Amino acid sequence: MSTTPVSTRTAAAEHRRGAAIGAARKGAIYGIIVSFSLAAIVGIIALLSGDFGETQGRIILMTLLLGATSITALCHLAIADRAMRIVGFVGLAASAITLITGLVLIWRDWDSPGFDEWFKAFATAGILAVSFAHANLLLLLAGRRRAVIRYGLMITLVMIAVVAIMFILPILSNGEIPGPGNEEWYTRVFGVAGILDVLGTVVVPVLAIFVKDAPAVAVADAMGVDAEASAPAPTDHLALTLPADVARALEQRAAADGVDSTTAALDALRRGLQ
């Protein structure tokens, strides 16, 4: 039986990635605070001075856009250090496109040609950014093993995708989808998907709070079954002695994810080795 030391290079890379994600989260928070504060200040000055023109309106729209995209970015960054982080990065890309196209729309001449194309890009990216932000917050529960939570999460994510697609299709098709005569069934399907979306968004996190997660390894019951005989034999063992601060961080992560410390440690090791 062999033991393998944890790679110092892997630990350093994990530390750098964690620091970068932490810095990005702080940046998103600062962006929210600064942008909404600026919007409030500009609005107050404009109202008190009596000089509220087109430029002031564009500045307020710009700061509100920055604040809104910062909020979605913060939601995407919630899973940036999890196994599903690719979904968070896709969401960040959608938020970035929303910000860029929104800034172009705010500061360009609204009567010039090409406005519709820019608006379609902005609306599509905005819907995707909000939908991915919604999904990424729910994906914080992706590590749960209870079937009711896993399937509830899966169904809710599908409904989020359906709602987003049904929002986007009429925009990209200039109203040709659903088309004449199809509005009724399209609205009904959209309504059902929206209701299931809201239901899953409320119910799944509540269940995750009250339903204790299943253990990572099956434990023999009191019927006299030998636990060691029923459990598959491990192929190898790795014993680690953790510093106090790392052990506390591991316990906090396990509590946040609703799993045991062993599962949280294995998830962290897998992420670091990817």
Q: What is the pLDDT of residues 107-117, one digit of tens each?
A: 988 788 888 99
Identify whether the C-beta of residue 270 lies closer than 8 Å to the C-beta of residue 83. yes
220-273, pLDDT tens digit by residue? 344 344 444 444 444 455 667 777 777 777 777 776 666 677 777 877 777 776
Query: Is the predicted pLDDT of residue 274 greater than 70, yes or no?
Result: no
Tell whether pTM > 0.85: no
Q: With pLDDT > 90 as the criterion, what percentage of the chain qualifies?
A: 40
Distance, in Å, from the CA atom of 261 to the CA atom of 143, rounded to the nearest integer, reads 13
Distance, in Å, from the CA atom of 168 to the CA atom of 43, rounded to the nearest integer, reads 32
Confidence of residue 203 (pLDDT cuts 50, 70, 90): very high
Tokens representing 242 are 């953790």
Distance, in Å, from the CA atom of 273 to the CA atom of 242, rounded to the nearest integer, reads 18
Q: Is the dihedral of CA 115, 120, 123, 126 positive or negative?
A: negative
Distance, in Å, from the CA atom of 37 to the CA atom of 64, rounded to the nearest integer, reads 9
Tokens representing 99 are 């910000």
Question: Phi first, then psi: what are they for 266, rounded to 5°?
Answer: -65, -40
- Quick one: three-class SS letters along the chain? CCCCCCCHHHHHHHHHHHHHHHHHHHHHHHHHHHHHHHHHHHHHHHHHHCCCCHHHHHHHHHHHHHHHHHHHHHHHHCCCCCCCHHHHHHHHHHHHHHHHHHHHHHHCCCCCCCHHHHHHHHHHHHHHHHHHHHHHHHHHHCCCCCHHHHHHHHHHHHHHHHHHHHHHHHHHCCCCCCCCCCHHHHHHHHHHHHHHHHHHHHHHHHHHHHCCCCCCCCCCCCCCCCHHHHCCCCCCCCCCCCCHHHHHHHHHHHHHHCCCHHHHHHHHHHHHHC
- For residue 125, what pLDDT is reported? 97
Determine how many CB atoms are found less than 10 A away from the CB of residue 65: 21
Reference 133, options 82, 184, 72; nearest CA is: 72
Distance, in Å, from the CA atom of 95 to the CA atom of 88, rounded to the nearest integer, reads 10
**24-33, 78-87, 120-129, 258-267: lowest mean pLDDT where?**
258-267
- For residue 16, what pLDDT is reported? 77
Query: Is the predicted pLDDT of residue 5 greater than 60, yes or no?
Result: no
